[in-house]
Amino acid sequence: MKEIYSSNVNLTMLTDFYEITMANGYFKNDFKDTIAYFDMFYRKIPDNGGFVIMCGVEQLIDYLKNLKFTEKDINYLRTRGFDEDFLDYLRNFKFKCDVWVIPEGTPVFPREPLVKVRGPIIQAQFIETALLMLINHQSLIATKANRLVRAAEGRVIMEFGSRRAQGADAAILGARAAYIGGCIGTACTINDRDFGIPALGTMAHSWVQLFENEYDAFIAYAKEYPDSCTLLVDTYNVLKSGVPNAIKVFNEIVVPAGFRPKGIRIDSGDITYLSKRARTMLDEAGFPDCKIVASNSLDEYIIRDMLLQGAEVDSFGVGERLITSSSNPVLDGVYKLVAIEENGKIYPKIKISENVEKITTPCSKEVYRFYDRKTGKAEADVLTIEGEVIDDSKPYLLFDPSHTWKQKTITNYIAKPLLVKIFDKGEFIGERRTAKEIQDYCKEQMKTLWDECLRFEHPHKYWVDLSKPLYDEKIRLLKECSSKI
């Protein structure tokens, strides 16, 4: 198996400053050994979609394995007024938390824990910023990529967005996430080197412009790459110049060399119309196997409309609207304290708010996904208190925790826990996976969703419910907190 990419970059100081001020406060108030439980979850699905694809776990693993404060970090923090006792604590910092995650590539839903952390409060709190950054960003891009793949209805999607990404990490990790979401490859070469994600691309308009004429540019390229010849045909005029010159060069260079042309690419104009005309021209010239690639500010809606209008496009290169998820560029993942542990006993914690959607679900929890035994389709997710057992040989009552009169009893199901432990007392105990393995897993997981969940507009709302014991505990804490106001 190909060696898995591993980053040795120390991102310890990539944190909000209040994580450090709180750590100092916990230390000074003798809370440093208090065991805390945190959940990472999101509230709203981007683009009003049906789900999000979990992504970014491999980079989270790298981050946690490299957590340590260097002398440079210590010296900086000294200039910010932190005393030597606290700096000595940071100097000897060693990650000791337990961490559970829902595996990368899994479709996930609002308000369920994607990452669960248990450990000393200073450590469990401190990792908030980087954890959210890594999971929020890649999950957002993987989800956008999957929407594009579904819009393409079996046609190929390639990630072409590096030049419009918001920084190097966004380009590299965004391309990785896009691949996990279903893209076949990326224009970003470093991803091929580091993640084994196929690097794709041919030529830019500048190649064609550099030569005396378009024909000479195509000739030079075909001579260099006769076995993988895809020509960019819209520099001057697609139908009057680009496609005729491409056909001429295919006949003069590619076919005599013993190869078939790979394709043409159209990057401007009315691509739907142009692709249909180009398809006819290629077929009549004896190249029905020559693919047509489309690019130029595409998104899932444009791709869907193009295909509805009969576009003869075999693959799509998608750039800025994928790598930035421009239609909805934020996943609102948050990281909240849900319990503390004292003398082996867990005490649930809740955050209440006048904004009802910001009220948290307390307790150390498990996440179960219920699958129909007959169809294999996912029926609902249920959050339970840690240690609570679901007997899937018996009927189970699902109820909406916000509208409890909405109920459904399911039978003939399998209940599978989703959270997987990857760190035990700070030691990594999970399994590393390549991007290809995660992509394959994601494809299989997508098959467990009902088609109604896949709609772009008004998708079916997937059930994410609380078990009765967890619901009762949440209501108890809400009443208890209300009585103190």
Residues 234-277: tens digit of each pLDDT: 999 999 999 999 999 999 999 999 999 999 999 999 999 999 99
The rounded distance, in Å, linking the Cα atoms of 438 and 446 is 12
The full set of domains in the chain, from first to last, is 17-141+329-484 (3.20.140.10), 147-323 (3.20.20.70)
Residues 344-383: tens digit of each pLDDT: 899 999 999 888 889 999 999 999 999 999 999 999 999 9
The rounded distance, in Å, linking the Cα atoms of 253 and 155 is 28
Interhelix angle 435-446/128-151, rounded to 10 degrees, is: 60
How crowded is residue 3: how many other Cβ atoms within 10 Å of its Cβ? Answer: 9
Q: Which residues contact 391 (CB under 8 A, 6 or more apart)?
A: none
Residues 168-223: tens digit of each pLDDT: 999 999 999 999 999 999 999 999 999 999 999 999 999 999 999 999 999 999 99
Predicted local distance difference test score (pLDDT) of residue 4:
39
- Partners of 346 in beta bridges: 341
Predicted local distance difference test score (pLDDT) of residue 5:
42
The rounded distance, in Å, linking the Cα atoms of 38 and 118 is 7
The rounded distance, in Å, linking the Cα atoms of 217 and 207 is 7
SS3 label, residue 89? helix
Predicted local distance difference test score (pLDDT) of residue 483:
78
Residues 295-318: tens digit of each pLDDT: 999 999 999 999 999 999 999 999
Residues 412-454: tens digit of each pLDDT: 999 999 999 999 999 999 999 999 999 999 999 999 999 999 9
The rounded distance, in Å, linking the Cα atoms of 153 and 485 is 54
The rounded distance, in Å, linking the Cα atoms of 298 and 294 is 9
337 — pLDDT class (breaks 50, 70, 90) = very high
23 — pLDDT class (breaks 50, 70, 90) = very high
The rounded distance, in Å, linking the Cα atoms of 344 and 201 is 57
Checking if the pLDDT of 144 tops 60, the result is: yes
482 — pLDDT class (breaks 50, 70, 90) = confident
Predicted local distance difference test score (pLDDT) of residue 7:
62
Checking if the pLDDT of 327 tops 60, the result is: yes
